[in-house]
Structure 1
């Protein structure tokens, strides 16, 4: 019985994705630019991007995967904290006693103010978007009775958050990491999700 046309199209598309993935892997493995993806949309990179060494561009591409992981993780934690705190305290939860003034609010406010004072478009109107992993962990542990139904261990939340914060440093500051640290990052992310009941 002949294949249906939609099955052939799907197979063709999957073959294309496999070829693209393999070409990217070869470029990364051998630190070369094969030029196969010149027509590929690359976002809004500066025109001068191509002037950087191919090795540096390849390394940046490899590291972007880890930035994506942190972007998703950090923002998902912020949403979780916001949702739980909103449910407990309402819209003004950030100003409540549940968010430590000296250790968190007094640290976060100036970060936003610095962006405004320097004419940079503020990243957000929500001050939680200016928090670090450590500060998010602090909000969770300070309000453990609210977060206990979500996480299975208060000390594990602190430990995994500390590890993630250490692993985040090289990525956030544009330094390459070796395979061991990449494995540690993947393990720390898995550990974070295992903490959730």
Structure 2
């Protein structure tokens, strides 16, 4: 019986996650299809310095991992709280300070109508440190995934430091990249459901 309950719970969680992602404005992989050469041509990459382009391309792999990690945390929060609390989880489980900050970012982006926005779900406007705070504020719902909030905080802190370097056009050392890889593997092993 436990096995069928686990299966049902896993399927239900997957369904809720998919539903939440769609509501958040998830772009399906087929919605944006362009090959690398087309993207390079559209952005005018050939007009830029070759060395700087090479460094940025190397960091794009790291950026991809960081973005995937950050969005996986959003998915974990959304699916876990949606399953345990229901559709009003954002209002019921997220502090007013975090909700207000996300709403402020959303409103600022809405002013620029000619540019794509992050999504329609407020969690898309929530910064990485506040994602950890949401988990902290709702620790009981995440205890099956996160055995020690300090462990999670150390991961988030390191990812945030690396993210800031890359997002401000810096280049990480191989040591920093390897550290991120180790942290992502540890996180995924611990949190995978």
TM-score over 0.5 for the alignment?
yes
Structure 1 range deviating more: 175-184 or 66-75: 175-184
Partners in 1 of 2:36 and 2:128 — Cα distance? 32
More helix by share: 2
SS of 1:44 mapped into structure 2: helix
- Of residues 91, 94, 103, the one that matches 2:90 is 94
TM-score, normalised by the number of residues in structure 2:
0.74
Partners in 2 of 1:47 and 1:112 — Cα distance? 26
For structure 2, the 5+ residue unaligned runs are: 1-34
TM-score, normalised by the number of residues in structure 1:
0.73
Partners in 2 of 1:43 and 1:100 — Cα distance? 43
User: Which consecutive segments of 4 or more residues in structure 1 shift more than 3 A?
Assistant: none
Alignment of 1:19-34 (within 5 A): none
Note the alpha carbon deviations across 1:76-112, whole angstroms, 9 max, x for none: 111110001111221121111x10112x111111111
Deviation at 1:44, TM superposition (A): 2.5
Structure 2 partner of 1:155: 150
For structure 1, the 5+ residue unaligned runs are: 1-39
Cα distance change of structure 1 residues 57 and 158 upon mapping to structure 2, 3 Å threshold: same
Does structure 1 conserve the Cα–Cα contact (< 8 Å) formed by 2:162 and 2:172?
no
Alignment of 1:1-197 (within 5 A): 41-45=36-40, 46=42, 48-96=44-92, 98-102=93-97, 104-119=98-113, 120-196=115-191
Q: Based on CA coordinates, which of the two structures has the bigger radius of gyration?
A: 1
